[in-house]
Amino acid sequence: MAQKIVVANWKMNNDEYSSKALTYDFLKLLSQQNNTDIKKILCVPFPFLGMIENMCRGTESVYVGAQNCSSHESGAYTGEVSVSMLSSLRVTFVIIGHSERRELFNEKDDVLLEKIKLSLSQKITPIFCFGEPLHIREKNQHIEFVTAQLSNTVLKLNKEEFSKVILAYEPIWAIGSGKTASLENIEEMHKAIRDVLKIKFGNSLSSNSSILYGGSVNSTNAQDIFSLSGVDGGLVGGASLDAKVFLEIVNSMG
């Protein structure tokens, strides 16, 4: 069975003080309950990774992730952060291919595949994001579009490599827009993704892969989304900036 996972993506929000406070509040609320079967991954800005990893260490089922990494191992790449730097901070997850990186920083599938391979080489689990823009959805080409994104990236991995990747389907038009995809849209896409995985990697790897949904998940819609067949959790942006709301979303996994 696929691991249940909820990822917080803080994006470029919070300073050192508020990052500490948010993490403290979340861990405190979490300590009052018990849901260790759901992995909670806090993907926080680079400068706070070490501090938050320290705070979370020892809390079962809470992990820290980065929101990006370099596609190069090391060297003259001013401003970049390598996977070995992340690994040295005990970071065990990294978001790769978020639509904001693809759109605002022009990251293409070939570069994303390099990032995935590099992170796997350092035993860092990639949380690979993909999804269609609105004009593709309106032309009813969303399944072909997403299949091509997967073919250019994770479908090029071998079975062992792929078994370590978390997938996050995030329709671009639903991210930060307050417009969640309909339950039918989400279920249709998750089934299509699993069918593609089944052809490439076989039935068991397809059904054991965690496929998350992201795009305006909040404490009101999370339960319906997470109870859909084929949805193993969520990637949460805006709503993860409030500890209580984020925990409510985690608890919606049931």
Question: Does position 202 bind ligand PEP by CB under 6 A?
Answer: no
* Per-position x/- string for 131-170, each x denoting binding to ligand PEP as judged by CB under 6 A, each - no binding: ---------------------------------------x
Site for ligand PEP in 19-38 (CB under 6 A): none
Which tokens hold the place of 248? 């409510």
- The single residue of 100, 142, 170, 190 carrying the catalytic annotation is 170
User: Vertex 103, ends 222 and 74: CA angle to 5°?
Assistant: 100
Which residue in 41, 45, 208 sits closest to 126, CA to CA? 41
Length of the chain: 254
Q: Of 23-31, 222-230, 231-239, 243-251, which segment contacts ligand PEP by CB under 6 A?
A: 231-239
Helix and strand numbers (H, E) in the chain are 12, 8
Question: Does position 237 bind ligand PEP by CB under 6 A?
Answer: yes
Is 100 among the catalytic positions? no
Which residue in 252, 234, 245, 248 sits closest to 43, CA to CA? 234
- The single residue of 53, 98, 142, 190 carrying the catalytic annotation is 98
CB of 207 to ligand PEP, least distance (A): 24
The span from the CA of 118 to the CA of 145, in Å, is: 25
Nearer to ligand PEP, 124 or 236 (CB): 236
List the one residue from 217, 225, 250, 253 that touches ligand PEP (CB under 6 A): 217
Site for ligand PEP in 72-101 (CB under 6 A): 98
Three-state secondary-structure class, residue 188: helix
**Number of shown-chain residues binding ligand PEP (CB under 6 A):** 15
Which tokens hold the place of 158? 């071998």
Is 98 among the catalytic positions? yes
Nearer to ligand PEP, 206 or 210 (CB): 210
Which tokens hold the place of 155? 């479908």
- How many beta carbons lie within 10 A of that of residue 179, not counting itself? 13
Residue numbers annotated as active site: 98, 170
